[in-house]
Amino acid sequence: MAGMEASVRRLTPKGLATRERIVEAAALLIYEHGVQNTNNEAIRKATGVSGSQLSRHFPTKESLIRAVIAWRADSVIRAHRIPALGHLDSFAALRLWADSYIEREDLCRGGCSYGSLAGEVLKNEPGVRGDLADGFERWEDLFRAGLRAMRDRGELAADADPDRLTYVLMAAFQGGMLLNQAAGSVEPLRAALNGALAHVESFATGTAEKTGPSARNVCPG
């Protein structure tokens, strides 16, 4: 990963733009068609780059997949850092996060972009397991920090474990998104996230107001 970052820093602005275009196109193609059905020809057609340009930026398929993983992880982090969600450090923010997905029927089709990528890539490219773990860790850290802040302010009981509650939220989200695809409905995700939030709220003290479901859609998929 460090070597890839160093090579990216050496690129010209034009080279960076070309690389970004390749990675974004590859990420979208992989999401739509899978890793095995996304080849260099499809990427060249989608981006208009030559074969030599593609191989110069990504000499191996693994190097491209690593870049796609990083791009997807960055996209997830940006989606969770929008102003409406603040620092994910309140019951209202957590409810808003959940509802932003529950209210999106279009997510039934492809599921979680990062989770779907992880599930497929791990079967075919086990060498990138560390990259995927790093992306999930960055995502989890957002919830972990928010829950820790709530506990420090006394809004969650002292025995609330931010790590365990983070896993509850993440597992509910990933499992619910997978079941969405099978059911063609957001109901599995709705039930999973509502259950996870109820568990988090079971640790609430009297200093914070609990929230019920809302119907606001603020977070991109």
CATH number of the domain bearing residue 100:
1.10.357.10
pTM of the full structure: 0.84
**Is residue 95 located within the same domain as residue 158?**
yes
CATH number of the domain bearing residue 51:
1.10.10
- For residues 74 and 105, give the distance between their C-alpha atoms in angstroms, rounded to a whole number: 23
Convert 37-66 to b/e letters by CB count within 10 Å (16 or more is b). ebeeebbbebbebeeebbeebbeeeeebbb
- For residues 163 and 145, give the distance between their C-alpha atoms in angstroms, rounded to a whole number: 9
Within a domain: 216: no
Predicted local distance difference test score (pLDDT) of residue 34: 87
Q: What's the CA dihedral at 33, 115, 96, 28 to 10 degrees? A: -30
- For residues 47 and 67, give the distance between their C-alpha atoms in angstroms, rounded to a whole number: 16
Q: Confidence class of residue 7 from pLDDT cuts 50, 70 and 90? A: low
- Tell me: the pLDDT tens digits for 177-219? 999 988 888 999 999 999 999 999 999 998 665 555 443 344 4
**Is residue 179 located within the same domain as residue 95?**
yes
- For residues 94 and 87, give the distance between their C-alpha atoms in angstroms, rounded to a whole number: 10
Contact present, 174 and 117 (Cβ < 8 Å) = no
**Is residue 174 located within the same domain as residue 99?**
yes
**Is residue 93 located within the same domain as residue 180?**
yes
- Tell me: the pLDDT tens digits for 40-64? 999 999 999 999 999 999 999 999 9
Cβ neighbour number for residue 28 with a 10 Å cutoff: 14
**Is residue 87 located within the same domain as residue 196?**
yes
The total number of structural domains that make up the chain: 2
Is pLDDT above 90 for 22? yes
**Is residue 52 located within the same domain as residue 82?**
no
Contact present, 173 and 111 (Cβ < 8 Å) = no
- Tell me: the pLDDT tens digits for 67-102? 999 999 999 999 999 999 999 999 999 999 999 998
Q: Which domain holds residue 169?
A: 73-201
DSSP assignment, residue 203? Answer: T
CA-closest candidate to residue 70, choices 18, 14, 22: 22
Within a domain: 64: no
Predicted local distance difference test score (pLDDT) of residue 57: 92
**Is residue 90 located within the same domain as residue 30?**
no
Within a domain: 65: no
**Is residue 42 located within the same domain as residue 126?**
no
